[in-house]
Chain A
Amino acid sequence: MTARRLIGILLAANVALVIAGWVFVPAAAKRAGSGLRVGLVFDVGGKNDKSFNESAWRGLQRARDELGIHVEYIEPSEGSDRESALRTLAARGVDLVIGVGFIFGPDLERLAVQFPKVRFAGIDYSPSPGVGDLPNLAGLQFREHEGSFLVGAIAALVSRTKIVGFVGGMKIPLIRKFEAGYEAGVRHVCPTCRVLSAYAGTEPKAFADPSLGEALASAQYSKGADVIFHAAGKTGDGVFAAARRHDGRAIGVDSDQYEAAPCCVITSMVKGVDVAVLDVVKQVIANEFRGGLHELGLAEKGVGFVADERNRHLLPIEVVTRVRALSEEIVTGAIKVPDR
């Protein structure tokens, strides 16, 4: 076979593939609905990370199904594609662009200035030093320390060894909020309990390193901890693996992570990323979108813990009742939860 003939064959194959596409793939149906176009860009974990991004994805799907909006999303692969993903959506005339993760902060700020007519929302967004509120950029923050306080109390009440663990992802103020709330919750119900604490690293990759998560959690179980709470994204998968191996208990984060290890996940500190996404879409539809920072805590159902029929065998009802009472006290302000 000569090179020329191979080129001929390849050309024919390409034409055949395109024709096959026209013949076999039905034309996409046009979408009806409120006509609002919402674009969302995921963080490195991607939309199926069983955690933070997935929760955002659930919220977006609910918005699509319940509110009839048109949805577009991008999962950037490299850090440098983050800004161009946001911008591609903004330039395409999307009405609301959502960035999932604190890491989008500087990009969102730049784009909000360049596209004043497009509304932007950042999950976990906090303003860069020296940047004020922008009218078309909403920062959706969570009072993670409040939810973490509750699972801290659960950990201490369930623990037999009176040693509990915490595995964080990237060492940043945001994750420190989880740790601080968790510690306070543990101390509140069990002043003599010990909290072992470890972080996976100082770069974004620390949220995507399950083998390191497993090593850190294994070390804590070996030192006597019997419950470990993780706030480490995909790194947390390793914490569950360690829990299975050591027959320990673990607490999930962001989404209900029971299914990751039904033997061991006693509850999860859920962050209502889905609620936040759905709410901000509703606000845009109702023309009530406001820029600036919005905090979602226990009172707003932005954070909470999981207690349902699935995890009942791991989570005694007395513990749930006790922790629900603590939750009330936080909402009324009787308990102040530290965030640092």
Chain B
Amino acid sequence: MTERGAPTPERTRFAQWLRPGSNPRRELLAALIALLVVIAFGSLMMLAAGKAPGHVWSLMVTRTLGDPYLLGQVLYKATGVTLTGLAVALALDAGLFNIGAEGQVTAGVLACAVVGVTLPAGTPAVIAIPLCLLAAAAAGGAVGAAIGVLRVTRGAHEVITSIVLNSIVVGVALWIGNEWLFRGGTTTGGKIAPGAMLPQLGFGGSAVNASLVIAMLAVAAVWWLRNRTTWGQAWRAVGQDPSAARSVGISVGRVQILVMTGSGALAGIAAANFVMGHKHAFEEGLGRGTGLLGIAAALLGRMHPIGVAIAALVLGFLSSGGLAVADVVPKELTEMLLGVVVLAVAAAGPWVRRREALT
């Protein structure tokens, strides 16, 4: 593996700044501060819109938790966001900022749907489900790997390449959809084989489905890899200090490419939630926004796999809750809050670390 253009400490500083420290209490404080800022900001906007914040928040909670469908939608959103959140967190743990989860999800959705449609209708689930998952992971992983390889061998910054790849992947997926998949006059492709469909979990007809289990398994797997294996040690060492990692004999470039591949694959697997569990077809815009929410989930969850899952639930709640109270406050308000999450947590993390270090 060539080390040409390998990252110097200088060049990973951006990701370093976002990376959480090792003290879990501080990270929890940072997440809490960010959440309180988000709630305060939301209340301010509601007041500005002439609504009583207490009323809107309680309406959001009671409607969302009181309606099985909306509760299911929270879980449905959280499933996808957990996977993309894990993807972003994994990369950030290794000092790389993968904001390409958006494109990796789309690649996964396309690959999963294409394989699902191609399979003969009688394919049993034991074959169809793993095949579709593999296709999704491979497609997302390929996009991730491309970013990793460009970074390691050409020194191209992963933030730039992943943004560019996002638009390329979305464009290519649309083109393929238009040329071969969409049925006349619609932006929806054909149905995947029944064997590849994941069962829904009820919740009043909500879209939440068995890929929730896949997301939970992914949380466990990443946690285990990160905390219990030499693999995890290696990628965290690279994230902390690439030159130190290199001096103890870790091949930094190799680790970075592998981590980006794994990160892309995790994001790609989110396709299970959208294609195999819900729409059962390729559809324009399916899964869009999940990659961006994944960044918020990774930051708010302070890169810890379980933290990411909890953050995904919070974001899923905000997103579905926004829909539930759309008759009282404009939906733009809750969308704005999702953006404020990223700002608040990016500011709160380093602040807490510095303050606590002083005292």
State the A residues within 8 Å of B (CB).
1-4, 6-7, 10-11, 13-14, 17-22, 24-25, 72-81, 83-85, 87-88, 91, 102-103, 105-106, 114, 126, 128-129, 172-174, 202-204
Contact = CB atoms under 8 A, between A and B. Distances in A.
Interface string B210-229: 00000000000000000000
Contacts of A103: 187
A74 B284 contact: no
Given A14-B39, A75-B330, A80 B288 contact: yes
A129 B184 CA distance: 9
Nearest to B34: A10
Nearest to A71: B327
Contact of B43 (A6, A21, A24, A106): A21
A128 B188 CA distance: 10
Interface SS of B by simple majority: helix
B312 interface: no
Contacts of A174: 185
A74 B36 contact: no
Contacts of B323: 74, 76, 81, 84-85, 88
A73 B325 CA distance: 10
Contact of B185 (A7, A84, A172, A203): A172
Interface stretch (B67-75, B139-147, B300-308): B67-75
A259 B351 CA distance: 50
Interface in B3-28: 26
Contact of A88 (B37, B47, B70, B287): B70
B50 interface: yes
B67 A3 contact: no
Given A2-B355, A85-B323, A17 B47 contact: yes
A129 B183 contact: yes
B205 interface: yes
B347 to A, nearest CB: 11
9 contacts: A2-B356, A4-B29, A25-B47, A77-B332, A80-B289, A84-B207, A91-B69, A126-B185, A203-B187
Contact of A84 (B26, B73, B187): B73
A14 B356 CA distance: 24
A166 B79 CA distance: 45
A10 B40 contact: yes
A80 B206 CA distance: 13
Contact of B335 (A3, A77, A80, A128): A77
Nearest to B171: A203
B201 interface: no
Contacts of A20: 47, 53
A172 to B, nearest CB: 5
B44 interface: yes
A293 to B, nearest CB: 15
From B30, B52, B178, B187, name the one whose CB has the most chain A CB atoms within 10 angstroms.
Answer: B52
Interface string B158-179: 0000000000000000100010
Nearest to A19: B54
B186 A128 contact: yes
Contacts of B285: 78-80, 204
Contacts of A24: 47
Contacts of A19: 54
Given A24-B47, A91-B204, 8 more contacts: A2-B355, A3-B30, A3-B356, A22-B52, A75-B330, A78-B288, A87-B69, A88-B323
Contacts of A81: 323
Contacts of B30: 3
Interface SS of A by simple majority: helix
B51 interface: yes
Contacts of B29: 3-4, 7
Contacts of B43: 14, 17-18, 21
Given A2-B355, A17-B43, A20-B47, A72 B327 contact: yes
Contact of B174 (A13, A173, A203): A203
B326 interface: yes
A106 B53 contact: no
A103 B188 CA distance: 10
Contacts of B174: 202-203
From A72, A114, A173, A202, name the one whose CB has the most chain B CB atoms within 10 angstroms.
Answer: A202
A14 B44 CA distance: 9
Contacts of B286: 79-80
Contacts of A77: 289, 331-332, 335
Contacts of B324: 88
Contact of B47 (A21, A83, A85, A91): A21
A108 to B, nearest CB: 13
A202 B187 CA distance: 9
B40 A13 contact: yes
Contact of B289 (A73, A78, A88): A78
A74 B326 contact: yes
Given A114-B205, A174-B185, A203-B174, A21 B55 contact: yes
A10 B42 CA distance: 13
A204 B320 CA distance: 23
Contacts of A204: 187, 284-285
Contact of B178 (A4, A87, A202): A202
A22 B274 CA distance: 41
Contacts of B52: 18, 21-22, 25
B32 interface: yes
Contacts of B46: 21
A39 to B, nearest CB: 8
